Structure 1
Amino acid sequence: MPLHVPPAPAPALRSVLAALGSPTAVREARTPALRSAQGPLSPEHPLPVHVLGIAPGDLAPATRLAAWRFQIRSTERAVAAADTMLTADGWTFSHFFEGPYIASTELALRQAEGMSGPYQPRLLSIPDLYMLALWLHGDPTADASCGAPGPDDVLVPLSPAPPGFAAHRPHRAADLLPVITTRITPGPGPLLGSPAPA
């Protein structure tokens, strides 16, 4: 089933294209693969990046849109990514980067293409666990800039995944989010005057 990739805001795409066309921006990027790429570079697969967090007193995690991320493709593969951020003047280029999440995102998107059901792909960042997941939202027509994972949405941890999470294994959000919540929510700790554990 084809994925329904949401359109990125036009200013975000324009800012990435401008950065790719700027020799200074590419040369100063900490991305050797981008600087040494042969042939034209193009931004593809725009994905909204939502950050998941739990505020003190909240029972459920909340998300906020933090960026739009573009895979930067050379002739045969993605060599880097570009993030954009929302400023007072609208969406603008933030930075280029590379690393294992580039190939991992491509792999997860290919895997998702073979899944049944229509999905809108997004990225879910869980900073407290140093974790990034492909978030397959079950409503392909939803506004990609908002919302939280629904129970039947699918979350696919990307590689490298933190200990205890299998990379590239799809999970229903209803199954994975409680595990994530437990891992990032500190417990009450020992009571004062309690005996020390043996």
Structure 2
Amino acid sequence: MPLHVPPAPAPALRSVLTALGSPTAVREARTPSLVRAQGPATPELPLPVHVLDQIGPAGAPVTRLAGWRFLIRCGDRAVAAAETMLTPDGWAFSHFFEGPYIASTERALRQAETVQQSYQPRLLSVPGLYMLTLWLHGDTTADAATGHPAATDLLVPLAPAPPGIAAHSPHQVADLLPVLTLRVTPAPLLSA
């Protein structure tokens, strides 16, 4: 089934296009592959980036929208990504970056396109574990900037994943969330 990629806010896309058109922004970025890229660079596959702030008292994940991420494609491959953030003045370009999450995101999206059910792709960051997942949200008509992972949504950990969590293996939120909760929750102090 096809993925229903949500449209990014127009100001977020404009800010990335402006940054891509700025030789200074591209040159000052720590992205050698973007600097060396031959041909036009285009932002594609906008994905909202949500952050898992905590696990609520009923075990429900508490998330917030942190920005939009665009894969930057030159020719037939993504060479970098651009991140935007919400400021008091609206959406603004934040930074370019590269690294293993670029190829891992592309791989996870290709895998997700082979699943029978339709999903809305998002990214879910778990800062306490230095973990990023592709979040496949079952409500394809939902506002991509809002909402929380539903129990039946899928999370696909991106590589590199934390030890003991297999990258690129899809898990229902109801199955993976307890594992993440145990990992993020600090161990109680033992009294003497």
- TM-score of the aligned structures, taking structure 2 as reference length: 0.97
- 2:9 corresponds to which residue? 9
- Is the 8 Å Cα contact of residues 84 and 94 (structure 1) preserved in structure 2? yes
- 1:22 corresponds to which residue? 22
- Is the 8 Å Cα contact of residues 54 and 185 (structure 1) preserved in structure 2? no
Aligned residues: 192
| CA distance 1:102–1:152, change in 2 (3 Å) | same
Residue 116 (str. 1) matches residue 107 (str. 2) = no
Runs of 4 or more above 4 Å deviation? 55-59
Stretches of structure 2 that go unaligned for 5 or more consecutive residues are none
Q: Tell me, what secondary structure is at the counterpart of 2:105?
A: helix
Within-5 A mapping of 1:130-141: 130-141=130-141
Q: Take 1:6 and 1:163, find their aligned partners in 2: how far apart are those partners?
A: 31
- Is the 8 Å Cα contact of residues 52 and 62 (structure 1) preserved in structure 2? yes
- 1:175 corresponds to which residue? 175
Paired amino acid for 1:181: T
- 1:196 corresponds to which residue? none
Structure with larger Rg: 1
- 1:155 corresponds to which residue? 155
RMSD: 1.3
Q: Take 1:122 and 1:57, find their aligned partners in 2: how far apart are those partners?
A: 24
Question: 1:47-106 CA deviation, whole Å, 9 max, x = no partner?
Answer: 000000227967433100001000000001000000000001100100000000000000
Within-5 A mapping of 1:76-95: 76-95=76-95
- Is the 8 Å Cα contact of residues 26 and 34 (structure 1) preserved in structure 2? yes
- Is the 8 Å Cα contact of residues 105 and 134 (structure 1) preserved in structure 2? yes
- 1:142 corresponds to which residue? 142
- Is the 8 Å Cα contact of residues 138 and 153 (structure 1) preserved in structure 2? yes
Paired amino acid for 2:159: S
- Of all paired residues, the percent bearing the same amino acid is 72
- TM-score of the aligned structures, taking structure 1 as reference length: 0.94
| CA distance 1:180–1:99, change in 2 (3 Å) | same
| CA distance 1:55–1:175, change in 2 (3 Å) | closer
Question: 1:130-153 CA deviation, whole Å, 9 max, x = no partner?
Answer: 000000000000010011110100
Higher strand proportion:
2
Within-5 A mapping of 1:99-114: 99-114=99-114
Stretches of structure 1 that go unaligned for 5 or more consecutive residues are 194-198
Q: Tell me, what secondary structure is at the counterpart of 2:104?
A: helix
- Is the 8 Å Cα contact of residues 56 and 62 (structure 2) preserved in structure 1? no
Question: 1:30-51 CA deviation, whole Å, 9 max, x = no partner?
Answer: 0000000000000000000000
- Is the 8 Å Cα contact of residues 61 and 181 (structure 1) preserved in structure 2? no
- Is the 8 Å Cα contact of residues 47 and 123 (structure 1) preserved in structure 2? yes
Q: Take 1:48 and 1:87, find their aligned partners in 2: how far apart are those partners?
A: 15
